[in-house]
Amino acid sequence: MATPLTDQEKRKQISIRGIVGVENVAELKKGFNRHLHFTLVKDRNIATPRDYYFALAHTVRDHLVGRWIRTQQFYYEADPKRVYYLSLEFYMGRTLQNTMINLGLQNACDEAIYQLGLDMEDLEEMEEDAGLGNGGLGRLAGVAPLSCYQYYTVEEADDWLRHGNPWEKARPEYMLPVHFYGRVEETKEGSKWVDTQVVLAMPYDTPIPGYMNNTVNTMRLWSARAPNDFNLRDCKRTSSSPGNILAHIVVPCITFVLFLCNPVLQFFEGKELRLKQEYFVVAATLQDIIRRFKTTKKGTAGRTSFESFPDKVAIQLNDTHPAMAIPELMRIFVDIEKLDWDTAWDLTKRTFAYTNHTVLPEALERWPVELLETLLPRHLQIIYQINQNHLDVIAALFPEDMDKLRRMSLIEEDGCKRVNMAHLCIVGSHAVNGVAEIHSNIIKTDVFRDFSELEPEKFQNKTNGITPRRWLLLCNPGLAELIAEVIGEDYVKELSQLEKLNDFVDDAAFIRDVSKVKQDNKLKFAQFLEKEYKVKINPSSIFDVHVKRIHEYKRQVLNCLHIIAMYNRIKKNPNAPFVPRTMIIGGKAAPGYHMAKMIIKLITSVADVVNNDPVVGDKLKVIFLENYRVSLAEKVIPATDLSEQISTAGTEASGTGNMKFMLNGALTIGTMDGANVEMAEEAGEENLFIFGMRVEDVAAMDKKGYDAMVYYNSIPELKQVMDQIKSGFFSPKNPELFKDLTEMLFKYDRVSFQNAVYPNPKEWTKMVIKNIAATGKFSSDRTITEYATEVWGVEPTDLKIPAPNEPREAIEETARALKKM
């Protein structure tokens, strides 16, 4: 079989990645050598591959700096409304290649590195994925990042900063105090939060370039620092905490370990650390926003009135994690800026908007009143006041409906008193949105029905999107170039133009070329798997891929049952026709989520049996992708034939992985859940493999009652699979290993089973083309435009920033701009 082109060879064919010019290449080589010598203090005799990566990263960053400063200078001069996207996750992936593409430098950099005798792909592999997120919520935030904080995972340290980060710039001059604990003192001037413990928030800025437009925005991360008078004797450690690092007030822990959401929060100390993290982000960010709002060139004294605050500031809350921003802004307005309550509340509501990402009750944050009273006593007072005013309105409208008062209260009083953070977000925001049509309908008609009926105009839908620059141009250059050849290059900025591909569905040459690109990607990924996982797979098999966060509702277990069923079919009749299939599953489990860990264990145990059975051979292979991350997604998604999107209908908010697979020519097998519904509408349901219950069917089953034994006793193949798991067939050394998992399946889970199209490559590829042509709706450009016009009240700004002659003009430009900042 022919060896596929390398990504570097493909890039040289793609004009939309930038033009190779002699001057550009010479300038890049000069910058590379300068940074190798003067920034890293190395020469070619002792430099390591990582040194070469850093030299290239600094060289590319040189071409960002002038644009970055010019962008900020324009904002300062024009004083437009600014949008701040608050999230505890920004799943950015690697930065180098994305930056080269967005600046139009990819081809010139490829040529420069080639002339220097180095391999670009080797250098790109040296970059660590930024450990700033876990799943789709963080990936969504990555399309327009503005504020966050330093992040590490808990269980196995994702120490992505151990070698330093060439993309970030520390801003110690903007370090800010964040307060915890203390007490509230009532004075003639109002409430005062006193006797607090102070932690310092250190900002780190990362430039985020737009695609070929010379605009560079900023992602600001926050890192915790101890003040000079910090007393280590105030710290306490607990042996029951992961890694013995959950400190009572050990400052670095606030941003060293992101303590994930339920079901991880198993003990009070863990909850306290998580709440500290959430408040730390919003407290630092809001101080920063207020400072920037007051600092305006219009008038030497700056702004003193907050009347125009919502006209100049829009804050988007990415799920409930930054919800404490609402009482924090109220505290600033009322306690510090001395605004009256009604004015402060009006400004606050007009400033905030809230995106909901889940309908699962256990994922909606609820903080114990006892914890808030200790950690943030003034904020609890403010939340109580917000709730009282809110309930007064409800009582006036529905004077006899005490149950509605209970359902709509911000304070839940059944058992431990808790603050419902989703309710706080809804009450404190002027707009609330879901992230897919089906999800938005569920939150309006079910999860937040009372609130939607009260203020129907507040609730919207904003279907998620993905960026075609990373998820096609960067990760699948062969397909990107093929598309550009037949419909032109403008689709990169306007993804809806992909619908022109419908004209080529029956074009034999185009069908052949699309199929070849896919096979090249599969061969390359097969080589990667053989190298990294020591498993040789059949590149001609169906690459059946299920990659996402490990969770019961995402139903990796259902996929695993199907794998075992296919294994049994092969064992029963080894000579029967069987389309070879490589099952690839990947994702991460929250550290305290026992069932998710057992799902991973089951998958790997099944893989051990299947992959080592000589009867099965290469008909069926099972791979679990360890440490699944953005850079690994960029490898597997272009190689995928079949994308598993099989969550129980009504549980997945949207999904973005489904869109990435669709754009890269994978067909979807899935339920009518999340964005799958809209994908089926765009591509035609006949071009997806849809199975299972609809939302209304699930609701009817819930009402009727679910009995797993009915299915167990009536489907022999399913009974055999469950018996194998229960008996220890896949865990002979510990037959009881999967007892909890099988009990979950018998008591709670909903199961259903499934392709005859793949053996016909022409028909399969026609469906692929129709799917790619239908992905225009799912561009993040469309999503952000809808947020901008319908939620934030901002229009696109034509910055008209000329590209500086980097890096020669950068120093002069920096000097001029700094005088105005």
Q: Cα dist. 543→34, 358, 632, 639 in Å? A: 45, 29, 15, 7
* Rounded Cα distance, 666 and 260, in Å: 31
The answer, yes or no, to whether residue 748 has pLDDT greater than 70, is: no
The answer, yes or no, to whether residue 243 has pLDDT greater than 60, is: no
User: Does the annotation count 48 as an active-site position?
Assistant: no
Q: Which CATH architecture has domain 136-225+257-465+783-793?
A: 3-Layer(aba) Sandwich (3.40)
> Out of 348, 358, 467, 656, which one is annotated catalytic?
656
DSSP letter, residue 39: I
User: Does the annotation count 726 as an active-site position?
Assistant: no
Q: Lowest-confidence range among 118-127, 358-367, 597-606?
A: 358-367
User: Does the annotation count 554 as an active-site position?
Assistant: yes
Average pLDDT across the chain, whole number: 88
Q: Cα dist. 661→374, 622, 629, 640, 642 in Å? A: 46, 19, 15, 7, 8
Q: Lowest-confidence range among 295-304, 344-353, 567-576, 665-674?
A: 295-304
- 697 against 753, higher pLDDT: 697
> Out of 11, 94, 331, 554, which one is annotated catalytic?
554
* Rounded Cα distance, 289 and 315, in Å: 10
The answer, yes or no, to whether residue 147 has pLDDT greater than 60, is: no
Three-state DSSP state, 797: coil
The answer, yes or no, to whether residue 152 has pLDDT greater than 80, is: no
What pLDDT score does 261 carry? 41
The answer, yes or no, to whether residue 138 has pLDDT greater than 50, is: no
Q: What is the dihedral of CA 547, 548, 554, 559, to 10 degrees?
A: 20
What pLDDT score does 157 carry? 47
User: Model-level pTM greater than 0.85?
Assistant: yes
> Out of 276, 462, 549, 777, which one is annotated catalytic?
549
Confidence of residue 363 (pLDDT cuts 50, 70, 90): confident
- Residue boundaries of the structural domains of the chain: 136-225+257-465+783-793, 468-778
The answer, yes or no, to whether residue 36 has pLDDT greater than 80, is: yes
Copy the structure tokens of residue 806. Answer: 């980097």
Q: In what order do the strands lie in the sheet with 418-420?
A: 366-368, 418-420, 411-412
User: Does the annotation count 10 as an active-site position?
Assistant: no
Distance between first and last Cα of the chain: 59
* Rounded Cα distance, 803 and 63, in Å: 9
Average pLDDT over residues 721-729: 96
**Tens of pLDDT along 507-545?**
999 999 999 999 999 999 999 999 998 889 999 999 999
* Rounded Cα distance, 549 and 414, in Å: 31
What is the DSSP pairing of strand 366-368 with strand 418-420?
A: antiparallel
What is the DSSP pairing of strand 313-318 with strand 418-420?
A: unpaired
Q: At what angle do helices 49-78 and 96-103 cross, to 10 degrees?
A: 50
Task: Give me the residue label for tokens 């996750």.
Answer: 89
Q: Lowest-confidence range among 93-102, 296-305, 619-628, 719-728?
A: 296-305
Q: Are 777 and 678 a contacting pair, CB within 8 Å?
A: yes
Confidence of residue 131 (pLDDT cuts 50, 70, 90): confident
**Percent of the chain scoring above 70 in pLDDT:** 84
Q: Lowest-confidence range among 23-27, 553-557, 618-622?
A: 23-27
Fold equal for 136-225+257-465+783-793 and 468-778: yes
- 441 against 360, higher pLDDT: 441
Copy the structure tokens of residue 568. Answer: 């049994």
The answer, yes or no, to whether residue 493 has pLDDT greater than 60, is: yes
Q: Is 468-778 CATH 3.40.50.2000?
A: yes
- The DSSP-derived string for 435-465 is SSHHHHHHIIIIITHHHHHH-GGGEEE----
Confidence of residue 447 (pLDDT cuts 50, 70, 90): very high
Q: Are 676 and 692 a contacting pair, CB within 8 Å?
A: no
Task: Give me the residue label for tokens 């998992």.
Answer: 741
The answer, yes or no, to whether residue 190 has pLDDT greater than 50, is: yes
What pLDDT score does 87 carry? 93
Handedness of CA 33, 39, 45, 46 (dihedral sign): negative
**Tens of pLDDT along 202-211?**
999 999 999 9
What pLDDT score does 797 carry? 73
| Burial class of residue 529, CB neighbours in 10 A (0-12, 13-18, 19+) | buried
Average pLDDT over residues 396-406: 96
The answer, yes or no, to whether residue 11 has pLDDT greater than 90, is: no
**Tens of pLDDT along 60-101?**
999 999 999 999 999 999 999 999 999 998 878 999 999 999
The answer, yes or no, to whether residue 140 has pLDDT greater than 70, is: no
What pLDDT score does 295 carry? 86
Average pLDDT over residues 541-557: 95
- 265 against 253, higher pLDDT: 253
Q: At what angle do helices 808-818 and 49-78 cross, to 10 degrees?
A: 40
> Out of 11, 29, 660, 750, which one is annotated catalytic?
660
* Rounded Cα distance, 450 and 456, in Å: 10
> Out of 35, 274, 357, 430, which one is annotated catalytic?
357
What pLDDT score does 750 carry? 44
User: Does the annotation count 44 as an active-site position?
Assistant: no
| Largest pairwise CA distance in the chain | 88
> Out of 548, 555, 581, 777, which one is annotated catalytic?
548
What pLDDT score does 132 carry? 72
Beta bridge partners of 418: 368, 412
Q: Are 479 and 664 a contacting pair, CB within 8 Å?
A: yes
CA 195 from chain center: how many Å? 38
User: Does the annotation count 800 as an active-site position?
Assistant: no
